Amino acid sequence: MRSRHSAHLLRTGGREVTRRKLAYGAAGVAVLIVVINVLSALFGGFDRTDGGEVAVVRNGGMFDDRNIRQIIPPASGLTWTGLYSTSHKYPSQQRFYTITARAGAGDRPGVDVVRTPSSDGVDMGIEGTLYFTLNLDQKTLRDFDNKFGTRGFTGADGRLYHAYDGDLGWSAFLDQIIRPVIDNDLREQISRFRCAELVSSCALVQNSGSPGVPPAGAGKTNNGNIAAVQNAVNSSLAEDLKVTLGDEFLQGLRFNLVRVSLPDNVQAAVDKAQAAFAAVSEAQARVAQAKADAAANSARQQGYQKCPACAVIDEMKAIPPSVTTFAPGQNFAVTAPGK
């Protein structure tokens, strides 16, 4: 009986020891998890910005609100931002938005051209680049993050991004918020000019009964008109963006109008007309050359009639070097010396 009781105590004690070990192990794991989380939160509570970016920091702690906590200026050192806070980083240097027909060279994938009609209804293609910087005033930055940093924008790949999600997020923001304002300003300014006032070759295919030739100096006039469009866009764009966005969030706005192009079918007609004019010019040149040759031959013939010996001399000069004997007839022959 005593040995059975001892064995039972041993088994019971062993199970108790095992339970205690498991409890201690679980407690140790829990403590380790807590320590890791605390250390992670502490180390994650620091942030910094690179040159060319500014950060808007929002509270994110368990008992915190989600308001903006602070602004970290560009190229900062390690900065305490609080536990579980989030940093929305935006570009602080000059940026640009490009509209171009060169595939993959603009902010939109593939070919990207603003299509808008001229005053006479020709669909013009506009290419250019908008240069700007984000307003770094702290109050303005806070307002910008409240208005645009708290919503998503659909990128070119169909995914949803925030404006602070790197280049993809910033491009998505520009494409959905800034691009419509650019398009509207270009549409308004281009509609003030006729096609030929922006692209002189458009005069070749205008509906005027017969193709015309662009007037002399048309290229200079076109450049002046394009500069006028660019200046008008620059004058109106800043105010339009301020009204659209709700504040002067973008500064140093400058739009460079790079190119005004015609639709493919109109350009093909222009090329065809230019080829036709080139053919006419070539034919006119041949006619003029033939008239000149005829006049020269007539004058030469009159000279030979007055000076028969001159005709013989010119005939002798025209003998090719390879000919060693010249026999024009009437028992007359000339042989080169030494032959």
CB crowding 48-63: b at 16 or more within 10 Å, else e: ebeeebbbbbbbbeee
Parse the chain into domains and list their residue ranges. 17-88, 94-262, 290-335
Q: Are strands 86-91 and 79-80 parallel, antiparallel or unpaired?
A: unpaired
> Which pLDDT band, with edges at 50, 70 and 90, does 276 fall under?
low
Q: Which of the two residues, 293 and 59, has the higher pLDDT score?
A: 59
Quote the pLDDT of residue 2.
53
What is the rounded CA–CA span in Å between residue 250 and residue 140? 10
Range in 41-45, 52-56, 100-104, 268-272 the model is least confident about: 41-45
User: Which of helix, strand or coil describes residue 132?
Assistant: strand
Quote the pLDDT of residue 254.
95
Per-residue pLDDT tens digits for 70-89:
999 999 999 998 888 899 99
Contact (Cβ atoms closer than 8 angstroms) between residue 196 and residue 148: no
Alpha helices in the chain, H assignment, sequence order? 2-44, 138-148, 166-173, 179-190, 195-198, 218-245, 264-306, 308-317
Per-residue pLDDT tens digits for 88-108:
999 999 999 999 887 766 767
Mean pLDDT of 218-245: 88
Proportion of the chain above pLDDT 70, given as a percent = 61
| CATH fold of 94-262 | Tetrahydropterin Synthase; Chain A (3.30.479)
Quote the pLDDT of residue 46.
87
Quote the pLDDT of residue 211.
46
Global pTM exceeds 0.75? no
**DSSP single-letter state for residue 214:** P
Query: Taking 50 as the threshold, does the pLDDT of residue 28 lie above it?
Result: yes
* Residue 295 CB partners (closer than 8 Å, separation 6+): none
Q: Give Cα 239 distance to the centre of its chain.
A: 23
Query: Taking 80 as the threshold, does the pLDDT of residue 239 lie above it?
Result: yes
Per-residue pLDDT tens digits for 143-177:
999 999 999 999 988 999 999 999 999 999 999 99
Contact (Cβ atoms closer than 8 angstroms) between residue 189 and residue 204: no
Quote the pLDDT of residue 136.
95
Quote the pLDDT of residue 192.
93
What is the rounded CA–CA span in Å between residue 326 and residue 339? 12
Contact (Cβ atoms closer than 8 angstroms) between residue 169 and residue 163: yes
In order, the DSSP letters of 56-110 are EEE--STT--SSEEEEEPTT---EE--TT-EEEEEE-S-EEEEE-SSTTSSSSSS
What is the rounded CA–CA span in Å between residue 81 and residue 92? 19
Nearest CA among 88, 188, 82 for reference residue 134? 88
CA atoms within 13 A on the CB side of 329: 0
Query: Taking 80 as the threshold, does the pLDDT of residue 22 lie above it?
Result: no
Range in 91-95, 172-176, 200-204, 274-278 the model is least confident about: 274-278
Quote the pLDDT of residue 298.
75
Q: What's the burial of 145, exposed, middle or buried (CB within 10 Å: 0-12/13-18/19+)?
A: buried
Contact (Cβ atoms closer than 8 angstroms) between residue 122 and residue 195: yes
* 218 φ, ψ (degrees, to nearest 5): -65, -35
What is the rounded CA–CA span in Å between residue 38 and residue 45? 10
Range in 123-127, 154-158, 165-169, 199-203 the model is least confident about: 199-203
Contact (Cβ atoms closer than 8 angstroms) between residue 113 and residue 127: yes
User: Which of helix, strand or coil describes residue 247?
Assistant: coil
Mean pLDDT of 16-23: 66
